[in-house]
């Protein structure tokens, strides 16, 4: 009998007996599993699938929150191409992705390296470095409004102090006279202020980096040390390649987050704009894509247009993420052995 | 296995359909998303069809005899009832209303922003009545979110309608129809440090914009390092460039034809130029560029309404601010702990352009009714009680018994008279009491007798305000000439104005 079953299995024809036993168990497990997953599936349908489908539909309408939407075909999308605020907001957002993201990831990696140092009191240092990540975005924005205040802020006070200790002979050779930046009011510096704020709160990213650093097998370093590699070489030849999947992950997540940059800029704009309408900061330098989308949806009640903006953002993020994945895949090493 | 997959797919699809249906919103499948039409109020005359022609109307749901209709009221203030906070007055009024009305039950909820109301209305039928900023009203009305209250206004008693300060009703009117009812009102006045002005040779407040510019120059002072020790005036004042400027410079944002924006480009360019001239004065006379002044502004703005307020510390000789600061100043200056006894301050209207007429700006919040309210008649009954002259007089005592301004003549008269005396007498410090009384008299006079101007309640009000703020900022920063800014504003706004002609409000007492 056993021989018969084996031969049937080898031909790909399961016996009736075997099929019946397996399917009953499978079904039972399936329905039990499905039952457990059902609350999540319902939530997923209600709060993810439905809003996404609605947004796609509304992006082709003149929906305004109050009145039944009318079908306007591609009007929202054609208007969007001509909208100067969309172009402006895309430029500002691109700045954060291209300039801000590499800075904040580099800073986070630096923090991970510091956290990875085996020294006395490191748990305390790790805690201190991680604490800013727990501060809500709104609170940190308010805090930075004061820290970066150009007259009394601690940052500019520090810069002034630093400048004052430079010997006059050196100052005479400098090709510029030092003036601390106007972090909050100067359109040239506002985005940099947000980037610095982002670096301050990147403890979460640093902890992931720390986990990756801890995952690098020590025998690689030992072998390299025996071969005479110095610290710098070990870092570039061993550490970076082996944590590259983590860096790639952070980079991809960072791209997605930067394209949706909102809360901190919204808070800054509240304080730098005197109007009741959602502003874009000094000279619209903080008018990010998500801020513009919010303004269209909630200040101007152009909900259909805002949905079209969201769809375009989705496509942009998808394309950029795809390209970034393709490009970075060539640089990422998964070969740990 | 294939059958199971099919079954799974069907169950999943069913879940999605159920989810979609659950999130669908409207209870009435025949008329989704259609606002209600008020029934004929208690009046012999039949009101005109009030709704926007684009929105089909549906009859209200009549309340069954004996049924208690639930009416929800949302306001934007916190839900604290301590020290006579607004929520205290609203809940007290609701309790009294519920006690005297067996057919209606009112529920008051606080801390509900305009966005909360918008989201709630889009998703269902609550709230019935909600508080909103005046500048949202035209947009929301234009988009069909608000119930047209014109028939109710028409049917309302004369003593209710005529008691409103006339210009306040302009905030509630959109293209000839009423969509809101006034609640509290606010204006913005100049706060002068009289002792500083006197020290700089000014024994009177500047009478016109030319004098003001000179006064700013005289009162501005640099410290030993050449940094700002005191500014005459901060030129970037909220609502100054958008609302107050036309009042000061005798022009308007929309021409009488209801389409051309602005009425006079040259006049608007001149307004921008005037503010720019203040920045230029600081740069030419003291070497402080636009950013330096802005940095100073962002530093001192964090200390507003405290003992470190820049006007009280002397960092500003004068400031344009909402009138609410007056009560705070009276308290702070007369509190010995603050050591501000040498501070002499007073209020005044913003000086006009030479030869102009005296005006003040007007703002405030309003009550609106959800277009989808199920019981518009009962909701109006509630709203009329909430905005009655008698209620306004009660509310006028205000937070911390400091007085609060409501859009009713009776409430203003009370504040300027007996109620004001009562508020002043309740102050522990007689000097503070005298100051409060003086302030209330001045401000009540402004609200009741000075022509009050607000931004036109057009369908594109938020876009217009944003464009003005953006481009005027570019002028002050020196990135655009005033006329370039005006042209940019026109390029942004004129297409919207062409699509949405504006009908100016004209007041007629009953």
Interchain pair A273, B291: CB under 8 A: no
- Measuring CA to CA, how many Å separate B106 from each of B68, B100, B182, B457? 10, 11, 19, 30
Interchain pair A300, B462: CB under 8 A: yes
Give the C-alpha separation, B458 to B173, whole Å.
Answer: 9
pLDDT band at B124 (very low <50, low <70, confident <90, very high): confident
Q: Are residues B402 and B338 in the same domain?
A: no
Does residue B60 lie within any of the structural domains? no
Q: Are residues B179 and B247 in the same domain?
A: no
Neighbours of B487 (CB within 10 A): 15
Interchain pair A275, B466: CB under 8 A: yes
Q: Are residues B214 and B177 in the same domain?
A: no
Who among B12, B22, B133 is closest to A276 (CB)? B133
Instruction: Give the residue among B18, B25, B58, B37 at the shortest CA–CA distance from B126.
Output: B25
Give the C-alpha separation, A52 to A50, whole Å.
Answer: 5
- Measuring CA to CA, how many Å separate B107 from each of A306, B8, B387? 34, 45, 16
The pTM for the full model equals 0.83
Q: Mean pLDDT throughout A291-298?
A: 94
Q: Mean pLDDT throughout B305-313?
A: 88
Q: Mean pLDDT throughout B122-137?
A: 85
pLDDT band at B318 (very low <50, low <70, confident <90, very high): very high
Does residue B235 lie within any of the structural domains? yes
Residue A31 forms contact with B (CB below 8 Å)? no
- Measuring CA to CA, how many Å separate B221 from each of A327, B156, B215, B229, B510? 59, 56, 12, 5, 54
Question: In whole numbers, what is the pLDDT of chain B averaged over residues?
Answer: 85
Q: pLDDT of A93-147, one tens digit each?
A: 999 999 999 999 999 999 999 999 988 999 999 999 999 999 998 899 989 988 9
Gap from B378 CA to chain A (nearest CA, Å):
22
Statement: residue A18 has pLDDT above 90: no
Interchain pair B4, A30: CB under 8 A: yes
Statement: residue B148 has pLDDT above 90: yes
Strands in B110-235 per DSSP E: 129-133, 173-174, 177-178, 180-186, 188-193, 221-222, 228-230
pLDDT recorded at residue A275: 60
A chain contacts of residue B32, beta-carbon cutoff 8 Å: 68
B chain contacts of residue A33, beta-carbon cutoff 8 Å: none
Does residue B444 lie within any of the structural domains? no
For chain A, what is the radius of gyration of the CA atoms? 27
Q: pLDDT of B477-486, one tens digit each?
A: 899 999 999 9
CATH number for the domain that contains residue B87: 3.40.190.10
Q: Mean pLDDT throughout A204-231?
A: 93
B chain contacts of residue A279, beta-carbon cutoff 8 Å: 466, 469-470
Q: Are residues B192 and B122 in the same domain?
A: no
More confident residue, A325 or B123: A325
pLDDT recorded at residue A167: 85
pLDDT recorded at residue B53: 37
pLDDT recorded at residue A337: 56
pLDDT recorded at residue B159: 94
Instruction: Report the CATH architecture of A84-148+183-329.
Output: Orthogonal Bundle (1.10)
Q: Are residues B99 and B134 in the same domain?
A: yes
Q: Are residues B401 and B299 in the same domain?
A: no
Interchain pair B291, A45: CB under 8 A: no
Gap from B423 CA to chain A (nearest CA, Å):
32
Closest-approach residue (CA) in chain B for A282: B473
Statement: residue A5 has pLDDT above 60: no
Who among B4, B143, B473 is closest to A66 (CB)? B143
Instruction: Give the residue among B460, B473, B457, B420 at the shortest CA–CA distance from B442.
Output: B420
DSSP assignment letter at A71:
B
Q: pLDDT of B8-62, one tens digit each?
A: 566 555 555 444 444 444 433 333 344 455 554 444 333 333 334 344 344 455 6
Q: Are residues B473 and B396 in the same domain?
A: no
Q: pLDDT of A236-248, one tens digit each?
A: 999 999 999 999 9
pLDDT band at A274 (very low <50, low <70, confident <90, very high): low
SS3 of B108, please?
A: strand
Look at A20-34, A216-230, A284-298, B282-296 and tell me which has the smallest mean pLDDT.
A20-34
User: What are A59-64's contacts with CB under 8 Å, separation 24+?
Assistant: A59/A304, A59/A307, A59/A308, A59/A310, A59/A311, A60/A304, A60/A308, A61/A304, A62/A304, A63/A303, A63/A304, A63/A307, A64/A301, A64/A302, A64/A303, A64/A304, A64/B143, A64/B144, A64/B145
Q: pLDDT of B204-237, one tens digit each?
A: 999 988 999 999 999 999 999 899 999 999 887 6
Give the C-alpha separation, B426 to B433, whole Å.
Answer: 7
Q: Which domain holds residue B144?
A: 69-187+363-436
pLDDT recorded at residue A170: 82
Q: Mean pLDDT throughout B395-399?
A: 88
pLDDT recorded at residue B421: 93
In DSSP terms, B182 is beta-bridged to B366
Q: Mean pLDDT throughout B129-154?
A: 92
Statement: residue A1 has pLDDT above 50: no
Q: Mean pLDDT throughout A247-268?
A: 93
pLDDT recorded at residue A180: 86
Q: Are residues B143 and B210 in the same domain?
A: no
Query: Which structure tokens are listed for A44?
Result: 């997923």
Q: Are residues B96 and B158 in the same domain?
A: yes
Interchain pair A150, B135: CB under 8 A: no
pLDDT recorded at residue B33: 43
The angle, 0 to 180 degrees and rounded to 10, between the axes of the packed helices A122-134 and A101-115 is 150
DSSP assignment letter at B208:
B
Per the structure, the count of domains in chain B is: 2
Q: Mean pLDDT throughout B250-265?
A: 89
pLDDT recorded at residue B49: 38
pLDDT recorded at residue B32: 37
Place of tokens 């010995």: B336
Interchain pair B22, A283: CB under 8 A: no
Q: pLDDT of B158-216, one tens digit each?
A: 999 999 999 999 999 999 999 999 999 998 889 999 999 999 999 999 998 899 999 99
Q: Are residues B275 and B392 in the same domain?
A: no
Look at A69-83, B352-366, B487-501 and tell me which has the smallest mean pLDDT.
B352-366
pLDDT band at A197 (very low <50, low <70, confident <90, very high): very high
Q: Are residues B370 and B341 in the same domain?
A: no
pLDDT recorded at residue B239: 64
Statement: residue B461 has pLDDT above 70: yes
B chain contacts of residue A45, beta-carbon cutoff 8 Å: 15-16, 18-20
**Sign of the dihedral defined by the CA atoms of residues B408, B412, B413, B414, in that order:** positive
Closest-approach residue (CA) in chain B for A153: B299
Q: Are residues B281 and B300 in the same domain?
A: yes
Interchain pair B33, A67: CB under 8 A: yes
DSSP assignment letter at B334:
T
Closest-approach residue (CA) in chain B for A287: B470
pLDDT recorded at residue B54: 41
Closest-approach residue (CA) in chain B for A183: B295
Q: What are the DSSP calls for B384-440, one per residue?
A: HHHTSHHHHHHHTT-GGGS---BSBHHHHHHHHTHHHHHHHHT-SSHHHHHHHHHHH
pLDDT recorded at residue B299: 78
Domain edges within chain A: 84-148+183-329
Who among A30, A38, A152 is closest to B299 (CB)? A152
Question: In whole numbers, what is the pLDDT of chain A averaged over residues?
Answer: 88
Q: Mean pLDDT throughout A308-330?
A: 94
Task: Judge whether B361 and B454 are in contact, CB under 8 Å.
Answer: yes
Statement: residue B155 has pLDDT above 60: yes
Does residue B267 lie within any of the structural domains? yes
- Measuring CA to CA, how many Å separate B366 from each of B265, B399, B479? 31, 18, 37
Interchain pair A45, B16: CB under 8 A: yes
Closest-approach residue (CA) in chain B for A43: B19
pLDDT recorded at residue B443: 95
């Amino acid at each position: 009998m056993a021989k018969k079953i084996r031969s049937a299995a080898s031909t790909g024809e399961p016996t009736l007996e075997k099929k019946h036993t397996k399917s009953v168990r499978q079904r039972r497990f399936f329905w039990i599993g499905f039952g457990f997953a059902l609350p999540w599936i319902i939530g997923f349908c209600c709060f993810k699938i439905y809003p996404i489908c609605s947004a796609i539909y509304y992006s082709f309408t003149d929906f305004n929150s109050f009145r039944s939407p009318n079908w306007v075909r591609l009007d929202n999308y054609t208007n969007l191409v001509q909208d100067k605020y969309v172009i402006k907001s895309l430029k500002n957002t691109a700045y954060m992705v291209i300039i801000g993201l590499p800075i904040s990831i580099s800073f986070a990696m630096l923090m991970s390296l510091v956290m990875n140092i085996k020294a006395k009191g490191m748990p305390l240092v790790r805690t201190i470095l991680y604490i800013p990540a727990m501060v809500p975005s709104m609170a940190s924005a308010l805090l930075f409004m004061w820290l970066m205040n150009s007259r009394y802020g601690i940052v500019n006070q520090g810069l002034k102090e630093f400048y004052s200790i430079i010997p006059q002979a050196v100052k005479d050779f400098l090709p510029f006279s030092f003036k601390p930046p106007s972090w909050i009011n100067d359109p040239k510096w506002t985005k940099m202020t947000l980037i610095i704020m982002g670096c301050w709160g990147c403890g979460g990213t640093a902890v992931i980096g720390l986990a990756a650093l801890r995952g690098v097998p020590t025998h690689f370093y030992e072998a390299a040390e025996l071969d005479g590699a110095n610290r710098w070489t070990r870092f570039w030849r061993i550490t970076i390649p082996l944590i590259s999947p983590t860096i790639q992950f952070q980079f991809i997540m960072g791209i997605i987050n930067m394209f949706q940059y909102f809360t901190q800029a919204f808070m800054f704009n509240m304080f730098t704009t005197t109007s009741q309408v959602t502003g874009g900061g000094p000279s619209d330098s903080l008018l990010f894509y998500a801020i513009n989308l919010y303004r269209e949806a909630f200040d101007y009640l152009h909900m259909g247009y805002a949905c079209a903006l969201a769809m375009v953002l989705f496509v942009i993020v998808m394309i950029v993420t795809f390209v970034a994945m393709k490009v970075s895949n060539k640089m990422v090493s998964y070969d740990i052995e | 296995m294939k059958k199971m997959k099919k079954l799974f797919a069907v169950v999943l699809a069913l879940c999605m359909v159920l989810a979609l249906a659950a999130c669908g919103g409207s209870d009435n499948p025949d008329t989704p998303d259609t606002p209600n039409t008020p029934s004929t109020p208690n009046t012999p005359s039949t009101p005109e069809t009030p709704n926007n022609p684009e929105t089909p109307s549906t009859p209200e749901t009549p309340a069954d005899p004996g049924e208690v209709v639930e009416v929800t009221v949302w306001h934007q203030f916190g839900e604290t009832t301590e020290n006579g906070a607004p929520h205290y007055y609203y809940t007290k009024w609701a309790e009294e209303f519920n006690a005297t009305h067996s057919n209606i039950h009112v529920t008051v909820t606080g801390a509900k922003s305009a966005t909360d109301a918008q989201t709630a209305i889009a998703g269902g039928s609550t709230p019935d009545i909600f508080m909103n900023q005046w500048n949202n009203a035209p947009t929301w009305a234009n988009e069909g979110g608000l119930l047209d209250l014109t028939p109710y206004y028409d049917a309302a008693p004369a003593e209710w309608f005529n008691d409103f300060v006339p210009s306040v009703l302009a905030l509630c009117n959109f293209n000839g129809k009423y969509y809101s009812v006034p609640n509290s009102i606010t204006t913005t006045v100049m706060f002068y440090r009289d002792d500083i002005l006197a020290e700089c040779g000014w024994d009177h407040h500047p009478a016109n914009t030319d004098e003001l510019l000179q006064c700013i120059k005289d009162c501005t002072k640099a410290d030993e390092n050449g940094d700002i020790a005191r500014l005459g005036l901060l030129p970037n004042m909220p609502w100054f460039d958008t609302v107050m400027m036309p009042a000061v410079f005798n022009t308007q944002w929309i021409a009488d034809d209801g389409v051309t924006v602005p009425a006079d480009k040259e006049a608007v360019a001149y307004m921008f130029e005037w503010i720019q001239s203040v920045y230029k004065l600081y740069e030419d006379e003291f070497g402080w560029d636009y950013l330096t002044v802005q940095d100073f502004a962002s530093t001192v703005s964090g200390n507003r309404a405290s003992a470190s307020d820049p006007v009280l510390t002397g960092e500003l000789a004068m400031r344009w601010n909402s009138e609410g600061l007056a009560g705070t100043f009276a308290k702070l200056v007369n509190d010995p702990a603050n050591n501000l006894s040498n501070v002499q301050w007073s209020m005044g209207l913003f000086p006009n352009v030479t030869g102009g007429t005296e005006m003040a700006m007007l703002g405030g919040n309003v009550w609106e009714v959800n277009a989808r309210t199920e019981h518009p008649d009962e909701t109006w009954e509630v709203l009329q009680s909430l905005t009655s002259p008698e209620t306004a007089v009660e509310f006028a005592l205000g937070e911390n018994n400091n007085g609060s301004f409501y859009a009713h003549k009776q409430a203003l008269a009370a504040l300027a008279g007996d109620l004001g005396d009562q508020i002043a007498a309740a102050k522990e410090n007689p000097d503070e009491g005298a100051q409060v009384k003086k302030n209330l008299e001045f401000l009540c006079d402004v609200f009741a007798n000075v022509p009050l101007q607000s931004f036109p309640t057009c369908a594109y009000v938020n876009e217009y305000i944003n464009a003005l703020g953006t481009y005027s900022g570019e002028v002050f920063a020196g990135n655009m000439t005033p006329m370039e800014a005006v042209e940019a504003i026109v390029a942004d706004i004129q297409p919207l104005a062409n699509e949405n002609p504006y009908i100016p409000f004209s007041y007629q007492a009953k």
